[in-house]
Amino acid sequence: MITLPNECLYEIFIRLRIYPRCLFSCLLVNRQWCRNIVPILWSEPSTIHLRNRNLTKMCILALNAKEQAQLIPLKIILPDDPKPLFNYTTYITSIDYTANPLSCEHNLTTGITNWLKHEGFIHFDQIDVLNSVARQVKRSLIAMFLRTCINLKCFYIPGSFVDLLELEDAKLFLENPTLTSLNLANNHFSSEKGKLLIEA
Query: 27 and 111: one domain?
Result: no
How far is Cα 198 from Cα 194, in angstroms, rounded to an integer?
6
Note down the domain range covering 172.
44-199
**Per residue of the chain (200 residues), what is the pLDDT tens digit?**
578 899 999 999 999 988 888 998 999 999 999 999 999 988 877 654 667 788 888 888 989 998 888 888 888 878 888 888 888 888 888 776 554 544 555 667 778 888 888 877 765 566 667 777 888 888 888 888 888 888 888 776 655 555 555 556 666 666 666 766 666 555 555 556 556 555 65
Residues 106 and 51 in one domain: yes
Whether residues 51 and 141 fall in one domain: yes
Question: Could you tell me if 24 and 98 lie in one domain?
Answer: no
Asked if residue 8 and residue 107 are part of one domain, the reply reads no
